[in-house]
């Protein structure tokens, strides 16, 4: 009777086949999935990514069964390399076609970047390129300093670079870099990155309150003083930037191409294609991004002793980048003799447009007349470019 029940309710019976530690990890991941769904439903975290991620984490750690004598699930197997096995697995595993055709080759990152490009205004970046780029470079502090720290913690250069790029706060860039350099750590690095990107709304406002004097947070910037940038100028910039960056960093050319084709569709005023890239491409890719990442985050992954260290280093990278951005914003304030609100520094961390919105929200909290979002988008977009450059350098040197 017990044997029959074990076959009928196989997910439950697999708990008896595991040691106590693995059972606890499996249950903890299911509870974490529930927490992500709850926080997403409350709009504390990004529901587009983390709600499907939470559900997939619950299911993949609950729906465990025995396949060919090993405990597994029917969602996805990310470690397949043999072409014949990959093709066969697409007929068995639920999400394997999406993973094999969109994740393992980095396509998902490019699709998301197209959608981001179509939502990204270039006005302030072109109007004040030097200020935007200098702030963005300062906000790459985590992407740079975390690398030697991760090496000192025992990761090899390729793994350390993949962890360090979390400091750029750019999900597609983390996917691209980890898939290129550290495929075995791709899952924990990517999940950590996307969870941390969602909590920048919680972390960065406290850092701002702690490090930027309140009177500076409410500085009103003269938006009328900004030079007007035409759609033609933005189109020319997009073409030239894509070409130059691809020549300099060919390994990251697919990312540059994807981002700037989205920008070109925006500036060419093609509403049909804008809706497609935004409402279909970006929304669909982001949704499946969360769902597949959650399905990849099984108890097999978390039992790697390095996962907690990756979580700690990822958080360190995000915090260091925030510190670098705030410092750059304060320097820009000084150099402009008080005309630039230093809050735009946090927007240099390239989580488009989240960190720019954080800057605006903090400014409004102090002064309802302080409209800085259009200016903050300059460093925000520059941050996308600088993160792609650093990712290209890491991949070019270490692959």
Q: What is the pLDDT of residues 288-302, one digit of tens each?
A: 888 998 888 887 777
Indicate whether 66 and 112 sit together in one domain.
no
Our count of domains for the chain comes to: 2
Cis status of the peptide bond prior to 353, with omega within 30 of 0? yes
* Residue 1 scores a pLDDT above 60: no
pLDDT at 2: 44
- DSSP summary character for residue 80: -
3-state class of 66 per DSSP? strand
Number of H helices, E strands in the chain: 23, 2
User: Is residue 386 exposed (0-12), middle (13-18) or buried (19+ Cβ within 10 Å)?
Assistant: buried
Residue 198 vs residue 261, higher pLDDT? 261
Q: Does 374 lie in the same domain as 317? A: yes
Cα–Cα dist 375/8, whole Å = 60
- Asked if 68 and 112 sit in the same domain, the reply is no
95, 292 in Cβ contact below 8 A? yes
Residue 275: alpha-carbon gap to chain centroid: 22
In a domain, 179, yes or no: yes
Question: By the 8 A CB rule, do 141 and 345 touch?
Answer: no
Is 82 part of any domain?
Answer: no
Query: Do 30 and 161 sit in the same domain of this protein?
Result: no
Task: Give the distance from CA 8 to its chain's centroid.
Answer: 40
Domain that holds residue 380: 106-398
Q: How far is CA 274 from the centre of its chain?
A: 22
In a domain, 98, yes or no: no
pTM to 2 decimal places:
0.85
Pairing between β-strand 65-67 and β-strand 70-72 as defined by DSSP bridges: antiparallel
Tokens (6 digits) for 327: 């410092």
End residue of a domain, out of 33, 53, 74: 74
CA–CA separation, 284 and 279 (whole Å): 8
Q: Is residue 339 part of a domain?
A: yes
| Residues 162-207: tens digit of each pLDDT | 999 999 888 888 888 998 898 888 888 888 787 777 777 778 999 9
The reply to whether 6 and 154 lie within a common domain is no
For residues 30 and 155, state if they share a domain: no
pLDDT at residue 78 tops 80: no
**173 and 264 assigned to the same domain:** yes
Structural domain includes residue 272 = yes
Given a cut of 90, whether residue 137 has pLDDT beyond it is yes
Nearest 5 degrees, angle CA 143-CA 149-CA 152?
Answer: 145
**CA 107-383-211 angle, 5° bins:** 135
Selection from 60-74, 168-182, 288-302, 378-392 with the highest mean pLDDT: 378-392
Two structure tokens written together for 270: 């093609």
Percent of all residues in the chain with a pLDDT value above 90, rounded to a whole number: 42
Higher pLDDT: 265 or 175? It is 265
Whether 8 is in a domain gets the answer yes
Q: Is residue 39 part of a domain?
A: yes
Q: Please report, in angstroms and rounded to a whole number, the separation of the first and last CA atoms in the chain.
A: 55
Is residue 89 situated within a structural domain? no
Specify whether 64 is located in the same domain as 121.
no
């Amino acid at each position: 009777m017990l044997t029959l029940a074990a076959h009928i309710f196989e997910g439950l019976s697999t708990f008896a086949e595991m040691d106590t530690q693995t059972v606890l990890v499996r249950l903890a991941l299911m509870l974490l999935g529930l927490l992500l769904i709850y926080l997403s439903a409350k709009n504390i975290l990004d529901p587009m990514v983390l709600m499907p991620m939470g559900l997939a984490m619950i299911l993949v750690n609950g729906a465990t069964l025995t396949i060919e004598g090993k405990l597994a699930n029917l969602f996805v197997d990310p470690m397949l390399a043999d072409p014949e096995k990959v093709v066969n697995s697409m007929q068995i595993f639920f999400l394997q076609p999406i993973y094999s055709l969109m994740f393992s080759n980095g396509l998902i990152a490019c699709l998301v970047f197209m959608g981001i490009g179509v939502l990204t205004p270039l006005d302030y970046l072109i109007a004040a390129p030097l200020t935007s780029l200098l702030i963005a470079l300062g906000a790459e502090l985590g992407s740079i300093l975390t690398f030697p720290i991760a090496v000192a913690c025992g990761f090899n250069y390729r793994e350390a670079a993949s962890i360090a790029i979390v400091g750029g706060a750019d999900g597609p860039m983390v996917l691209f870099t980890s898939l290129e350099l550290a495929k075995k750590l791709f899952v924990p690095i990517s999940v950590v990155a996307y969870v941390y990107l969602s909590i920048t709304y919680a972390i960065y406002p406290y850092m701002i309150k702690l490090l930027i004097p309140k009177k500076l947070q409410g500085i009103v910037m003269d938006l009328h003083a900004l030079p007007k940038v035409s759609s033609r100028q933005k189109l020319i910039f997009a073409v030239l930037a894509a070409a130059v960056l691809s020549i300099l960093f060919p390994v990251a050319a697919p990312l540059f191409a994807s981002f700037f084709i989205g920008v070109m569709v925006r500036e060419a005023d093609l509403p049909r294609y804008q809706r497609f890239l935004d409402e279909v491409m970006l929304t669909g890719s982001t949704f499946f991004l969360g769902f597949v990442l959650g399905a990849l985050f099984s108890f097999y992954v978390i039992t790697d002793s390095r996962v907690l260290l990756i979580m700690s280093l990822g958080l360190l990278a995000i915090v260091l980048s925030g510190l670098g951005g705030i410092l750059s914003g304060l320097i820009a304030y000084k150099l402009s003799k008080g005309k630039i609100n230093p809050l735009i520094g946090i927007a240099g961390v390239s989580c488009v447009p989240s960190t720019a919105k954080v800057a605006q929200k903090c400014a409004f909290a102090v002064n309802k007349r302080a409209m800085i979002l259009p200016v903050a988008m300059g460093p925000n977009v520059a941050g996308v470019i600088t993160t792609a450059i650093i990712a290209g350098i890491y991949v070019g040197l270490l692959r």
